[in-house]
Structure 1
Amino acid sequence: MANIGIDEAAFFGIVSLALFYGIFFTLFCLAVYVLLNPMGGRRMNIPFLVSTVLFFCLITLYFIVRWMRAYIAFITFSRETAGGAIAFLSEVSEWHVATSTSLWAVTGALADLMLIYRLWLVWDRSYYVVILPLIMCLGSLVTVFAVVYEVSHAELTTTYATAITNWATSFLSLGLAQNTLVTGLIVLKIWKVNVGVRGQTSSVSSLWPVMAVLLESGSLYSSSVMITLITYVTQNNGSAVMTDVVVPIIGITFMLIIVRVGLGFSKTRSNAMASNQNYPSRSGAPGIMSSRRAPPNQGSTTGLESGVDSDYPLHDIRVTLEREVIHEFGSDKEPSVLKSKEGDADSI
């Protein structure tokens, strides 16, 4: 793989950071709108609103610190130092590096915790399913802050020193494995619910749109981390570009789920629920199907016009189908990413 100069990597990294930050900022505004204006009478989801604001603060601080470092490298040092930008960018122990790495760690930890929170909600608030992801999240924090320690306390001139490489590789590998595991478990649970509901009746909408959103968002983050890991292990300076890109992508994946589910799947759910037929019953309640003896026809003495044998009187049969989808950004009940259930009540 062709390598690029450290100054070129810093330049392309800061340009890419600006581009992805713009995308993140747009999605952040949309996510705040969705969270502050819940649809269908659902209540506001405070945990996701708070985490959204925290994401904005952390990623914005990261953006400012990286641009400060780029300004010093390409403007100040280029004028005052013989080595120019390369001399400044080679100082790995410079405080901007430790600060930006710490912000990356906190942002990644927040994203991991919110993903684990989604997992906990989807699996009916089971604590057993989140034990392993929480351990992996803690391991990621330990490894990344070990990187920060090595960077800030050692006189290094390269990011590929052995003291950093081992910890950084462990951090990226744990983050990739955890994201894959948690996303897979969430999709697995939704798939099981979808199969169970669709197997009982065909009158409910599919949950594939939700699974598609989760898979796409998880794939976006996983692919960026994988590319970062590959470029770092091969000691390619392109890892500096990917490092700047990954942080806003963390926020983008989080906002995408809120925006796409809030503005897209909610409409799909509303249309699907509106398309279900409501059959009249003796009580007049919607969603209740009643099979009863047809009123007598003046021109009929056999009663066969109703489709049944009139010699055998029929009792009322009532079938109630209930399907509920609760989105992660709030409902009348406790907030949840997704709950889908079908209850059949037959009384004869």
Structure 2
Amino acid sequence: MAVTATSAAFFELVIGSLFYGLFLTLAIFSNMLYIQRIGRSQGTRSRRTLMRIILRKPMIVGGLLITLLISARWVLDVIDTTHGFLNSSDRELYFTAPLRPRAVVELGLISASVFICDIMIIYRLWIVWNRSFVVVLFPMLALLGLLATGIGGTYQLAVDRPGDSMFTGKIKDWIAPEGVFNLVTNLYATGLIAYRICVTKCGLSGAAIIRVKTGNDLSRFLATIVESSALLSVSIIIEMITYSIKSPFHWFVLGNLGSISGISFMLINVRVALGWSQSDEPIVSASKIVFNADGTLSVPARALTDIEVDNGTDREAGKITLTDV
């Protein structure tokens, strides 16, 4: 069966509703975990004090903003798709040339949700790399380009002439650069976060290698996929490919891009809330690993709880002293 704009819009609504339901479940679950964790750590403080602490957490605030944007976009999508099927005289033209207020607002909401998700991914990159501003300088520049093209594309869609489509109107001059900026930001962050996780969990270079026992290879692989938001990067690549070949399937991918970005972010949020991920505290660095005079090794106790030493030759375990540095 050939994929048309009408069929793509229908399946986008059906599958998109499932994605939205998954996203909303993860959003509620992660926020509950966050609130419970903060409540336990803060003890018997007042609710007002706990609320101020909660609202100072970037991951929570970002999650709330993304939830509002994706929810508003899903509601508009239901209304717009229903109107197209029930009231439009030419369904294919209606879904191919989305020059209508609801479609313009939808595109703006998708761009805004992806933009905020990219901000939070860059924030995770900053945390994972021990608050290094040098590491996040390049993605921040790409993020500015994403903001400019997102605003420009939404405006262009609102002023395009009747009969123009996403593939033939002037908006195509904005869609392609927006996809490039989004992809560059995510691939850069994905690669560096994945590299950092592998280095942290597999060992530190030097005379002695510190290995953290954090589970089997499958759990490490899944942790890397989640932390690096690889799901979003793959979705962006598919969206760019379908747009470049002018496939109606592009509507399906573009419509679900906001929910997929939210799912990627909420998966990270759940890991952070459960304490399975790098927290806002700086990670242990090689400069904090100290060899004592008696041959023992001192490392920060809050960073490593179950470690072993590989001396690179006979793999004998060494004596380790945990210190709170």
TM-score class normalised by the smaller sequence: 0.7 to 0.9
Cα 1:232–1:39 shift into 2, 3 Å: same
Aligned to 2:21: 22
**Are 1:160 and 2:167 counterparts?**
yes
Residue type of the partner of 1:120? W
The Cα offsets for residues 250-296 of structure 1, whole Å up to 9 and x where unpaired, read as 11001111224544737xxxxxxxxxxxxxxxxxxxxxxxxxxxxxx
Moved more, 179-188 or 51-60: 179-188
User: 1:87: how far off?
Assistant: 4.0
Of the three residues 215, 225, 239, the one matched with 1:215 is 225
Aligned to 1:36: 35
> CA separation in 1, counterparts of 2:295 and 2:182?
54
> CA separation in 1, counterparts of 2:96 and 2:295?
79
TM-score (norm 2): 0.75
Structure 2 residues not aligned, in runs of 5+? 43-53, 278-292, 305-319
**Are 1:323 and 2:322 counterparts?**
no
Aligned residue runs from structure 1 range 294-333, under 5 A: 320-325=298-303
Aligned to 1:245: 256
Moved more, 207-216 or 58-67: 207-216
Cα 1:325–1:147 shift into 2, 3 Å: same
Structure 1 residues not aligned, in runs of 5+? 78-82, 267-314, 327-341
> CA separation in 2, counterparts of 1:170 and 1:108?
14
Indicate conservation of the 8 Å contact 1:23/1:252, yes or no. Answer: yes
Indicate conservation of the 8 Å contact 1:66/1:100, yes or no. Answer: yes
User: 1:21: how far off?
Assistant: 0.5
Q: Report sequence identity in percent.
A: 26
Residue type of the partner of 1:205? K
Task: Figure out how many residues of one structure are paired with residues of the other and give that number.
Answer: 276
Aligned to 2:243: 232
Cα 1:203–1:76 shift into 2, 3 Å: closer
The Cα offsets for residues 161-189 of structure 1, whole Å up to 9 and x where unpaired, read as 15222321111122112101012112223
Cα 1:215–1:318 shift into 2, 3 Å: closer
- Bigger Cα Rg: 1
> CA separation in 1, counterparts of 2:70 and 2:61?
14
Deviation >6 Å, runs of 4+: 315-318, 342-345
Residue type of the partner of 1:175? N
User: 1:53: how far off?
Assistant: 1.1
> CA separation in 2, counterparts of 1:30 and 1:118?
19
The Cα offsets for residues 298-348 of structure 1, whole Å up to 9 and x where unpaired, read as xxxxxxxxxxxxxxxxx998765533249xxxxxxxxxxxxxxx9877xxx
TM-score (norm 1): 0.70
Cα 1:198–1:323 shift into 2, 3 Å: farther
> CA separation in 1, counterparts of 2:211 and 2:154?
55
Aligned to 1:280: none
Aligned to 2:82: 71
Q: Aligned-residue CA RMSD in angstroms?
A: 3.0
